Amino acid sequence: MSLSSSTTATSNSSPAGLLPTPSFNHVITVKLTRSNYLLWKAQFIPYLRSQQLLGYVDGTINCPPKTITQATTEGATQVSNPEYQIWLQQDQFVLSLLLSSLSVDVLSQVLFLTTSFDVWSALERMFASQSRARIMQIRLQLSTTQKKELSVSDYFNKMKNLADTLAAISQPLQDEEVITYNLAGLDSEFDPLVTSITTRANQMSLNDLYAHLLTYEMRMEHHNSSLHVGGPSANSVARSNRGGRGRGRGGGRGGQQRGNSTGGNQVQNPHEGRPACQVCGKFGHTALKCYHRFNHSYQAEDGHVAAAATTNSYPLDPNWSYNRRPRQAEHQRKVL
């Protein structure tokens, strides 16, 4: 088969009517940046394949010659190749799709390339090493991720997302590999389940693994809750006893207060807590600091004396008489 005929067959297999331009933005939702090449490629290739356009970017649909030789009555002459016009139209359409899915930073690197194959090749060269590094990074994450404080659901979904990412970039893992990674990250409390799964004769699917993990987790939670039934009850009793003792003391005080009252509202002494002077009968200082301590002619007011005598805050000094004259001082005068 000649180049011209093969190109014609390929061009006819991808007519312009198969290009649903409005749906492209809904299918390719991720623009290519410097860090998401694998995800972008995983979206872009299926779209091109569904529209029979993948050959334009991978080079399997070659560019036909621009002109062909045509025999006339006057001899052979060069005329425009209609197949080239069809190919150019399709290729420029794919090129526009590519460029519209690139971020500004990446677009600046391929701005002057004119065919979809050239742009695709440049992107692969640009991100090839990054793709290999990303694959190694995901595999390393799978081998080092630990369940720890995560729930079974969160842990399993995290591991499955990593495995799905590898599958999306054409590096799928077998179910046995994913199961091995999941079991390796479990805590020691899952050892009975790990032993049970690794010694099975038949192969287990990922869905079965997830169901077994959930069942085992619920069983452990039920067992732990049964072990701690006595703990909360004992704490409740202790709190109840402490509360009872506190209320007993409070009740005693309350009863004493009610016993001291005369049936109405209890009158609180405004001078309670303040010292009463046994010389002048006033509150706020003691006899040792009173200005009238050595004034033998001073006579305190009767109201102050009564108030000082009834206060419960500070007992009266037996060495002082209620007429505010120290007995010891009178004795000294008699001796003199």
Residue with tokens 């506190």: 246
* Cβ neighbours of 60 (radius 10 Å): 10
CA distances from 329 to 46, 195, 291, 296, 324 (A): 116, 99, 15, 9, 11
Cα gap 142→172, rounded to integer Å = 13
pLDDT of residue 273: 66
The mean of the pLDDT values for the chain is 75
**177 or 270, which is more confident:** 177
pLDDT over 70, % of the chain: 64
- As a whole number, mean pLDDT of residues 153-163 equals 93
DSSP line for 55-87: HHHHSSSPPPPSEEEEEETTEEEEEE-HHHHHH
**Nearest Cα to Cα of residue 277 among 228, 335, 324:** 324
Q: What residues form DSSP beta bridges with 259?
A: none
Q: Domain residue spans in the chain?
A: 3-128, 145-221, 287-335
Taking the C-alpha atoms of 263, 266, 269 and 270 in order, what is their torsion angle to the nearest 10 degrees?
-140
* Band of pLDDT at residue 309, cut at 50, 70 and 90: low
**Nearest Cα to Cα of residue 64 among 20, 114, 8, 147:** 8
Residues 81-130: tens digit of each pLDDT: 999 999 999 999 999 999 999 999 999 999 899 999 999 999 988 887 77
pLDDT of residue 326: 46
pLDDT of residue 325: 46
Q: What share of the chain is helix, strand, coil (3-state, %, to 5)?
A: 60, 5, 35
- The pTM of the full predicted model, rounded to 2 decimals, is 0.45
Most confident of 150-159, 248-257, 261-270: 150-159
Rg (the chain; Cα; Å): 49
Asked if 280 and 298 touch (Cβ cutoff 8 Å), the reply is yes
Asked if 271 and 283 touch (Cβ cutoff 8 Å), the reply is yes
**Nearest Cα to Cα of residue 171 among 43, 42, 54:** 42
Residues 16-66: tens digit of each pLDDT: 444 444 456 666 778 899 888 888 888 888 889 988 999 999 989 999 999
Cα gap 308→315, rounded to integer Å = 9
* Cβ neighbours of 171 (radius 10 Å): 15
What is the DSSP code (8-state) at residue 283?
A: B
